[in-house]
Each structure stands twice: as structure tokens, then as C-alpha cells.
Structure 1
Amino acid sequence: MRFHLPHAPDGATIGLLGGSFDPPHEGHLHISEEALKRFGLDQVWWLVTPGNPLKSRGPAPLPKRMEACKTMLHHPRIQATDFERHTNTRYTAQTLQALFQTYPRANFVWLMGADNLASFHHWDNWQWIMENVPIGVIARPGQRTAARTSFAAKRFDFARISGKQSHRLAHATTPAWCFINAPMNKTSSTQIRNRGNWAS
């Protein structure tokens, strides 16, 4: 299996959506399209992880998940990459450091659903992440309150950019984060697996 390493034009602003994509679904695509529009991004990369350190159960084989992403993605500015397999990184902070070294002329924005912000303080080196890359948070069903009152949100409340100013995020001085409300898409990978439509 060859590596899928995307090209980043000099000065490009790239949103990073990390996850197992087990399987990829319309919710991932929805978040990516909203991020492109609201944060003024040039591209969005799906960072398909070999394994999630916060989950005990392993995902489906990486080649299967990469192929599913390629099948779904037809947007010219959204692409999937197995960058973490290439760099042998597993934690977001490690992956970001590798991205900074590999693409020194790109501008990155970390993207996450509101549910991830609620548990963000459990991530490895989460404060370093917040202090070194702008973070765009997209609301998902049932997670708005938990995200806005989360430990990370309170700790970095001073660095929050209002949703009306979301276009400023990509070039803001870190720490900087922005919470946007977007039309909801309730699809989740867990639901798809539970319906038996995806076998690991």
C-alpha cells in the first residue's frame, strides 16, 4: 500500500479533520464543506488515522477506510491522506509537529466536532495543540452545551473568536478557536456500524 501524501501550495490554508473514518460518511463531508465556507479554507484534508489512542477497539483496516474515503470524496478541495501512517504518529500533537515540518509554508487549522471539544482536555498535549494551531469547532447534534461549558472552552475563553468573525480564524494569532453553528447532520460512524452496513 503506497502512501497518500497531498500537495500543499505555498501559503495554502488547510483544514485538518482527523479521525478513524470507520466508515466515512455524509457527516464528515458536511463538516468539511461548512469549514471550507465558514473558515475561508483553501483545502480540507481528512487525516485517516491507523488507530485511535482513545479507543480500545481497533478500526477496520486502513486500506479499506482509505478506499471508502476516496469513493466518497468528489469535492475538488477535500482529500483523504494516511499521513499518520507515513510519519508513524498516533497523537494529534505529534501529527501536527510532523505536518509543520513537512509543509512549512502551509497554514493549518485543526477541525473538530463539538463533541470533541467537550473531551479535548483528555487529549495528549492538548494545551500545546491549542497554543500552536487555530481550531475550528463545528456544532453537532446534542453537543453544543457540553462543548461550550467544557474545560478547554473555559480555559481558553479569552482566545475565542465569535462565529460572525469565523473567516478570521485561519490567520489569527494562536491560541485562537471559533465555535460555529452549522445545519445539523446526525449521521455517525457508530450508527452505520451498528446497523451492520460496515464490517471491520
Structure 2
Amino acid sequence: MVFTGLPPAAPGQRIGLYGGSFNPAHLGHRHVSLTALRRLALDKVWWLVTPGNPLKDRGALAPLAERAAEAARVAADPRIAVTTIEAALQLRYTRETLRHLRARRPDLRFVWIMGADSLATFHRWRGFREIAALMPIAVVDRPGFTLRALQGPGAQAMGRARIPERDSAALAGMRAPAWVFLHGPRSPLSSTELRQTGPSPRPRGCGDG
């Protein structure tokens, strides 16, 4: 199921927000989400399928409805909800989305989730310092990006707000700025490669979280 607005959530729940083009969605996205659910003690993860990433070529984008439907197929977990709310509200930048979600659901405890590859370019996002101040951030390691991400301008700018990995389960209850870098098993999948080789295989089950 794909939501065009906010997915349902009970007051007080801990919600991970995972945004991207999902062009296409793949098992690497699912791996990041299941890692976040487990390590951050989250109740749900919302996949925010964006109309387009300002830092990427929109000419290579599949239609939004197609990307969202494929994301829902790949997610294959009742704890992961797919939404196209950014398109419905005509939100272009992450900071706008986070402002809206905090205003609409102040009763939820949000965590922004990103891969280490995104952290490596985080300083190029519009208002990245504001994003870090809006809600806690969890960064999940990706192959080839560990050192580059941690040594990049974005990580350096947030350096003093980094918490020990052993405290990751408490992140959702912390006041921003606060962030954690999660090491562990990493997925080598990327959307760029999958656009060239074909779609992701169907998940075998939901027990790997």
C-alpha cells in the first residue's frame, strides 16, 4: 500500500524517516530500514518517495507512482510504510518536509535516516544544519563510504552532537542535534546499478530485521 498523506501512527511512537528517489527501490533500502528498526528501537519507518532529488538528474527518474509501487513491493514489512506526501504537498527540500512533519505530528518522535553515502554529500543539502537541528539523525554504513562520510564536511559540522553507537536505542528520545553512525553488515546494492541490471528480487520474508 502507498500513502499519499501521512501513514497512521499512534501518539508517542518512534518513527524513522527514510527519504529518497527510490529509483528503483531495492533490498539495500530495506536493509537500512530493518537495521534502523532494530538498532534504534523504532516502531515504524516511513519511506518518503520524493518527486525528485535536486542533486540528481531528474531525466533518469521513473514516474512517481511506479517508483512508489515498487518501493511498497520491496519493503514487504508491516513496519515500513511508503508515502508520496512530498509530491502531494509540493515539498522539494528535506528541511521543508521535516518542518511539516514536526508541525503536523508533534506527538511522534522522529529520526531522520540516511546511508553513509548520503552523509558524504550532506553538506550540499539545502539547509543541512537546520535538518540536523530539527530531529536526531541515524547514519547506516554503506560499503566504500565509511571513512569518506565520517571525514566529510557534514559529519564534521555535526561532530560534537555524535553519540556512542551503544546508545543508539535512545536516539529517538533525544533532543536534536544528536546523531549516530551505525556500523554492521552492509548492503552493496545501489539504485544506479539496478537501473542497468534490472529490478530487485522479491524479499524472502520479514524475519531478517
TM-score range, shorter chain: over 0.9
Q: Is the deviation greater in 49-58 or in 92-101? A: 49-58
Partner of 2:205: none
> Helix, strand or coil for the counterpart of 2:58?
coil
CA offset at residue 76 of structure 1?
1.4
CA offset at residue 56 of structure 1?
2.4
Deviation digits for residues 150-172 of structure 1 (CA, Å, limit 9, x no counterpart): 11211221110111111121111
Deviation digits for residues 74-113 of structure 1 (CA, Å, limit 9, x no counterpart): 2111111001012110100001111112222111100000
Q: Cα distance 1:62–1:145, how it changes in 2: closer, same or farther (>3 A)? A: same
Q: Distance in 1 between matches of 2:149 and 2:102?
A: 27
Partner of 2:41: 40
Instruction: Give the counterpart letter for 2:99 in structure 1.
Output: Q
Instruction: Give the counterpart letter for 2:11 in structure 1.
Output: D
1:109-128 alignment to 2 at 5 Å?
109-128=111-130
Indicate if the aligned counterparts of 2:25 and 2:67 stay in contact, CA closer than 8 A.
yes
1:174-185 alignment to 2 at 5 Å?
174-185=176-187
Q: What count of residue pairs does the alignment treat as equivalent? A: 198
Instruction: Report percent identity of matched pairs.
Output: 45
TM-score (norm 2): 0.90
CA offset at residue 4 of structure 1?
4.7
TM-score (norm 1): 0.94
Q: Distance in 2 between matches of 1:181 and 1:146?
A: 14
Q: Cα distance 1:116–1:99, how it changes in 2: closer, same or farther (>3 A)? A: same
Indicate if the aligned counterparts of 1:87 and 1:98 stay in contact, CA closer than 8 A.
no
1:178-193 alignment to 2 at 5 Å?
178-193=180-195
Q: Distance in 2 between matches of 1:133 and 1:5?
A: 18
> Helix, strand or coil for the counterpart of 1:175?
coil
Runs of 4+, deviation exceeding 4 Å: none
Deviation digits for residues 113-155 of structure 1 (CA, Å, limit 9, x no counterpart): 0011111011001000101110000000000000111112112
Q: Cα distance 1:39–1:197, how it changes in 2: closer, same or farther (>3 A)? A: closer
> Helix, strand or coil for the counterpart of 2:76?
coil
Deviation digits for residues 61-85 of structure 1 (CA, Å, limit 9, x no counterpart): 0110111112223211111100101
1:42-191 alignment to 2 at 5 Å?
42-58=43-59, 59-191=61-193
CA offset at residue 2 of structure 1?
7.6
> Helix, strand or coil for the counterpart of 1:161?
coil
Instruction: Give the counterpart letter for 1:179 in structure 2.
Output: F
> Helix, strand or coil for the counterpart of 1:109?
strand
Partner of 1:31: 32
Instruction: Give the counterpart letter for 1:7 in structure 2.
Output: P
Q: Unpaired runs of 5+ in structure 1?
A: none
Q: Unpaired runs of 5+ in structure 2?
A: 201-209
Q: Cα distance 1:57–1:164, how it changes in 2: closer, same or farther (>3 A)? A: same
Indicate if the aligned counterparts of 1:8 and 1:103 stay in contact, CA closer than 8 A.
no
Q: Distance in 1 between matches of 2:95 and 2:123?
A: 13
Instruction: Give the counterpart letter for 2:49 in structure 1.
Output: V
Q: Distance in 2 between matches of 1:120 and 1:163?
A: 20
Instruction: Give the counterpart letter for 2:93 in structure 1.
Output: Y
Partner of 1:9: 10
Q: Cα distance 1:68–1:196, how it changes in 2: closer, same or farther (>3 A)? A: closer
Q: Distance in 2 between matches of 1:78 and 1:90?
A: 22
